[in-house]
Structure 1
């Protein structure tokens, strides 16, 4: 498995999301901030993707903050942190994501899918996005 260069990841992110912001520290770290709107009727969400070599990427909803919760709920489903709105997009132990995957073809669409399931959760109080319970410390390669 060959890791895709962060220069290529940056180029793909800028190509797909020209109004987004990308900062990169050589081949060690990349941060992307952009907006996603999972459906035509959805609000716009500001997303932050952070990747450091040797670790799994982290993805956060940075706006709106806090994300709305349905009545009677005090935690976001399928996240590593409700407070920081750090999303869980895949199961690290199953190696569903790896550094040979373009963010624009994996993490970004998965984030949009998570947001769609979140919007349904807000309306129904039930998470239909699947996933497994896990320990936040699992977010390592």
Structure 2
């Protein structure tokens, strides 16, 4: 599908984020793209602030929840579907399966996937059963 299509530049990704998620804020720096956005999985959910960073083409974007603390919400339980428990990096796709490609808009993939992940996280907080699918870690 994306063969022969050039990856989007960081500036293009930032422009798309600004257009699709005007309530967010971000910038390009010498380290790459950084974007903060409030997300509410459902009208009854709390509001989460996520930070999305994308350092360079050829690297994978990273998504972390800035607030509230997922660790505090989870208590003593290990949070499911994180790339890293220490940094609380959300597992939104399997990079080795190329489920996300740099030709895709972050604003129309990863932000929506993060919102869905948060929905399943809230369900897990209540049921202690992860229903969001994915590959076991």
Please give the range of the TM-score, normalised by the shorter of the 2 chains: 0.7 to 0.9
Query: Is this contact kept in 1: 2:6–2:103, CA < 8 A?
Result: yes
- Distance (whole Å) between structure 1 residues aligned to residue 62 and residue 84 of structure 2: 11
Query: Gapped runs of 5+ residues in structure 1?
Result: 135-141
5 Å matches for 1:47-66?
Answer: 47-53=50-56, 54-66=58-70
Determine if the alignment matches structure 1 residue 6 to structure 2 residue 23: no
- Distance (whole Å) between structure 2 residues aligned to residue 105 and residue 17 of structure 1: 10
- Distance (whole Å) between structure 2 residues aligned to residue 83 and residue 61 of structure 1: 12
Determine if the alignment matches structure 1 residue 21 to structure 2 residue 12: no
How much has 1:133 moved relative to structure 2? Answer: 2.9
So what's the TM-score if we normalise by structure 2? 0.88
Determine if the alignment matches structure 1 residue 35 to structure 2 residue 41: no
Alpha-carbon RMSD across the aligned residues, in angstroms, is 1.7
Q: Deviations over 1:52-73 (max 9, x none)?
A: 1121111001100144127xx5
User: Which residue pairs with 2:108 in the alignment?
Assistant: 105
Query: Is this contact kept in 1: 2:35–2:51, CA < 8 A?
Result: yes
Moved runs in structure 1, 4+ residues, more than 6 A?
A: none
- Pick from 77, 81, 84 the counterpart of residue 78 of structure 1: 81
- Pick from 113, 118, 123 the counterpart of residue 115 of structure 1: 118
Query: Is this contact kept in 2: 1:62–1:85, CA < 8 A?
Result: no
- Distance (whole Å) between structure 1 residues aligned to residue 106 and residue 70 of structure 2: 25
